[in-house]
Amino acid sequence: MKYFTLDEFDSQDEAGSGSNMQPSTLEMLDNAREIAGIPFKINSGFRSKSHNAYVGGKENSSHLYGYAVDISVTSSTQRATVLNALVKAGFNRIGIAKTFIHADNDPEKSQNVYWVY
């Protein structure tokens, strides 16, 4: 990866767990970062089952399988830049919140879906 290190994707309760991220997700994310031209701060990448439960994640969260990331956004302009880059990079499962964007490429879930939190 050009823009990230695996430890950025670690579950907060499991050092080294960023290595559980899916290579396809990381490749798409690195590409999105290149397209955006701005840094991405990863709030959440891989999650252990216990950490996922702690943060109130869904029982079948794509974070548990290394297919999902939550990226911090602090302004409408940054949100638009990140969102556009994720779409151009091929993500088609995207959740938009005030302070973050969730992106995943989980092949076991419905495709071409966008939602708001």
Can you give the pLDDT of all 117 residues of the chain as single tens digits?
A: 999 999 999 999 999 999 999 999 999 999 999 999 999 999 999 999 999 999 999 999 999 999 999 999 999 999 999 999 999 999 999 999 999 999 999 999 999 999 999
- pLDDT value of residue 51: 97
Choose among 39, 99, 92: nearest CA to 67: 92
The residue type found at 45 is G
> Could you tell me the end-to-end alpha-carbon distance of the chain, in angstroms, rounded to an integer?
29
Q: What angle do CA 52, 30, 112 make, to 5 degrees?
A: 65
In our burial notation (b when 16+ CB lie closer than 10 A, e otherwise), range 28-50 reads bbbbbbebbeeebebebbbbbee
Can you give the pLDDT at residue 97? 97
- pLDDT at residue 64, rounded to an integer: 98
Query: Looking at the DSSP assignment, which residues form a beta bridge with residue 69?
Result: 103
- The reported pLDDT for the residue numbered 82 is 98
Pairing status of strand 113-116 against strand 93-96: parallel
pLDDT for position 61: 97
* Strands laid side by side in the 113-116 sheet: 42-44, 68-72, 100-104, 93-96, 113-116
